[in-house]
Chain A
Amino acid sequence: MTLQHCLLLAAAVFAIGVYGLITRRQAIGMLISLELLVNSANLALVAFAKHAGAPTQPLVLFVLAITVAEVAVGLALVMLFYRRYDDTLLDQANEARG
């Protein structure tokens, strides 16, 4: 398959992730959608490495590490939010003090 196929696939997954980010109410649901976005970016990077000879594979490893860090901190924030509001619906997140 050509680079175009892979990039279109990545774009489709990215669009689905955007949809999820807009429609999910729970904080964790939004975090999951974020994973889809990052995943599609990784797919595009690997496709470029294969078809265009771009040195993007190390970049994918860095993206993976940063995403794991993001999930760890994001889940900690969700826990904090849950303890304060007894729920994880982000509609309630209208003030910015812990």
Chain B
Amino acid sequence: MADALFWLCAVGLVVSSIAVVRTRDLVRAVLWLALALLSTAGLFAYLDAPFLAGVQVLTYVGGVATLMIFGLMVTRRHTKAAAEANNDQNVIGVVAALAVFGVLAYAILNTKLPESSVPPPDTSELGRSLVHEYLLAFEAVSLLLLAAIVGAVVIARRRDAEAREAPGTSSLPSFRAEAD
């Protein structure tokens, strides 16, 4: 039964990943990506990481996929017919992907993989390790997220000529004065 779950999620992951890189419509690609991430969450659950499976669904499927669709809608061209989604490097892409997979598979199959009966940490141990061994990294990540939020706002805000032509459209007037 558990093995059936593994194979179901594995096939779902591979099929939806291929769909992600091959679909012409990028909105559909994002939806396939959501399916791929959901399959991965299933694999996490199979691999005794229920908390990570939940976080995967919440942040990736709920957050990242939504953000991607939003970004796609905003930057979409409605006037012209949709441009070709893939370039003409199909052959190079296939060769590179096969090379990467070949090297990785060769390494995996020829390495003596460690086997251990130590069970993976449960959620309470995971939480405890975050605020003990990994406290510094944990705080650094929170700082990184803050910096990323501020950076994203600063990069994406309207400025210069654009802002002067359309006064009052920016929701961040104090920033605009600075930019001029």
Residues of A within 8 A of B (CB): 1-9, 11-20, 22-26, 28-29, 31-33, 35-36, 39, 42-43, 46-47, 49-55, 57-58, 60-62, 64-73, 75-80, 82-83, 86-89, 91
Contacts and interface: CB of A to CB of B under 8 A. Distances in A.
B130 interface: yes
Interface in B112-149: 113-121, 126, 129-130, 133-134, 137, 141, 144-145, 147-149
A70 B67 CA distance: 12
B90 A23 contact: yes
A31 B65 CA distance: 11
Nearest to B101: A15
B89 A23 contact: yes
B3 A1 contact: yes
Contacts of A6: 43, 47
Contacts of A73: 148, 151-152, 155
A89 B82 CA distance: 11
Given A32-B29, A72-B67, A79-B156, A15 B100 contact: yes
Nearest to B5: A1
Nearest to B70: A75
Top 3 nearest A-B pairs by Cβ distance? A53-B118, A20-B21, A53-B116
B49 to A, nearest CB: 5
Given A36-B36, A79-B75, 18 more contacts: A7-B113, A11-B101, A11-B108, A15-B98, A15-B100, A23-B90, A28-B71, A28-B75, A29-B26, A31-B68, A32-B29, A39-B60, A61-B55, A68-B148, A75-B68, A78-B71, A79-B74, A80-B155
A50 B52 contact: no
